[in-house]
């Protein structure tokens, strides 16, 4: 049964507000409460994504567009290398905070999930509500706002949010974007002083940072 346009638009707006609201709530909770609410928020957003029964290709989790998107990872590697060279030259390069495999692997999985949220949760609903370019701009702003009050991260995620949405529109592949974001995020962490990005913390965690 197809929803009427008015009902569909109301549902899309409600789901966008719900999804963004629950994300912001978790980000601004104390760490102990985050450990409880975080998994619930993840389960809630994934449930909303899967409720309409999208295919793996529709979600960007199939092989559709994978070959065309392969260049994204080498491009991210090249940008990472160039950034490290510049950071070394100006003296801002430093070791990664907590560089063990579990921490790095967990961060990359987190960036893949962020791309799933951005491309599979927000973008389809915003695209039905707005023009394609308007949806990309709005999604990028929401993505950036979620990184406040970390201003360096907010600025770079505003750009990356827009770029990743345009790339997903072209290639429709989450894997390349999630891995590229993970690599670029780690690059940002070691090239920008901790005093500016506070170990990449956002929300309440940004203010609880201790050098």
Answer whether residue 99 shows pLDDT above 90.
Answer: no
Q: How far is CA 193 from the centre of its chain?
A: 21
Counting the structural domains of the chain, the total is 1
The predicted model scores a pTM of 0.93
Distances (CA, A) of 145 to 104, 127, 142, 157: 24, 19, 5, 9
Residue-level pLDDT at 1 = 46
The whole-angstrom separation of Cα 31 and Cα 148 is 16
Residue 50 has pLDDT above 80, yes or no: yes
Does residue 19 register a pLDDT over 90? yes
Looking at residue 3, its pLDDT comes to 57
Run of H or E including 19: helix 5-27
Q: What integer best gives the mean pLDDT of the chain?
A: 94
The mean per-residue pLDDT over the stretch 104-132 comes to 96
Residue range of the domain that includes 164 = 5-207
Q: Which pLDDT value is given to residue 98?
A: 81
Q: What is the pLDDT of residue 97?
A: 83
Q: What residues contact 104, with CB distance under 8 A and at least 6 apart?
A: 96, 186
Are the C-beta atoms of 120 and 47 separated by less than 8 Å? no
The per-residue pLDDT for 210 is 75
Percent pLDDT > 70 in the chain is 97
Average pLDDT estimate for 55-84? 94
pLDDT in the model for residue 6: 66
Structure tokens at 144: 């950036």
Tell me the mean pLDDT in the region 149-175.
Answer: 97
Q: Residue 4's pLDDT is what?
A: 59
């Amino acid at each position: 049964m197809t929803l009427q346009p008015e009902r569909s638009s109301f549902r899309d707006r409600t789901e966008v507000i719900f999804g963004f609201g629950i994300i912001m709530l978790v980000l601004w909770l104390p760490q102990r409460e985050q450990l409880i609410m975080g998994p619930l928020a993840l389960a809630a957003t994934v449930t909303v994504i899967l409720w309409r029964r999208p295919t793996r290709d529709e979600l960007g989790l199939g092989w559709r567009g994978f070959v065309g998107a392969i260049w994204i990872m080498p491009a991210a590697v090249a940008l990472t290398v160039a950034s490290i060279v510049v950071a070394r030259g100006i003296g801002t390069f430093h070791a990664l905070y907590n560089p063990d495999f579990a921490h790095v692997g967990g961060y990359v999985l987190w960036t893949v999930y962020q791309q799933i949220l951005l491309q599979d949760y927000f973008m389809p609903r915003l695209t039905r509500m707005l023009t394609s370019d308007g949806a990309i701009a709005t999604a990028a702003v929401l993505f950036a706002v979620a990184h406040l009050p970390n201003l360096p991260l907010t600025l770079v995620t505003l750009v990356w949010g827009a770029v990743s949405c345009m790339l997903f529109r072209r290639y429709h592949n989450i894997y390349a974007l999630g891995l590229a974001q993970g690599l670029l995020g780690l690059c940002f962490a070691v090239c920008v002083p901790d005093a500016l990005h506070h170990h990449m913390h956002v929300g309440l965690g940004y203010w609880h940072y201790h050098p």
